[in-house]
Structure 1
Amino acid sequence: MTETGQARIQARFAACAAAGRAALVTYVTAGDPDFDTGSAILNALPAAGADIIELGVPFTDPMADGVPVQLAGQRALKAGQTLKKTLAMVT
């Protein structure tokens, strides 16, 4: 039986609470600054202690994002990041 994404997140928060610690929730923009470096960062996060990783998909009009995320998206897009490449990072 597989867990839904929401159930997995709830289980992770519960495990952290049971261990008496806060969860470390991270965010990275896929492909920033380039595909290889972004992939290496993404793959290193669990060993660095990340409990939950949010992977942002860069797009051309990120008006709801703050400046650092906007700049990360611009770098990723300039380096050739696409939705297809983003999905390849997590499959």
Structure 2
Amino acid sequence: MTLDSNYEYNNNLLLFWKEQHNHLPLLARTARSIFAVQASSSESERYFSMSGRIVIEQRSILDSDCVEALVELKEAYLNNLWPKEE
């Protein structure tokens, strides 16, 4: 059955791939993982904005790995993922 010939498949591709799992297991698994990718760019924009606040003129020679580490540390701190002291 093709996507065009069945209204349910046109509205729900996950249902289509669930039903095709026995016939095309690898492709069905790949499709499910692709559909799980978030369509929003807000997280990457937030990281870009945060790195812009970290890399100021005085810190313009920071290595990209260092900037990435600083962004991750700040994100962990802001989300209370910082390790608790015992």
Relative to the length of structure 2, the TM-score reads: 0.25
Higher relative contact order (CA 8 A, sep 6+): 1
Q: In proportion to residue count, which structure has more strand?
A: 1
Q: In proportion to residue count, which structure has more helix?
A: 2
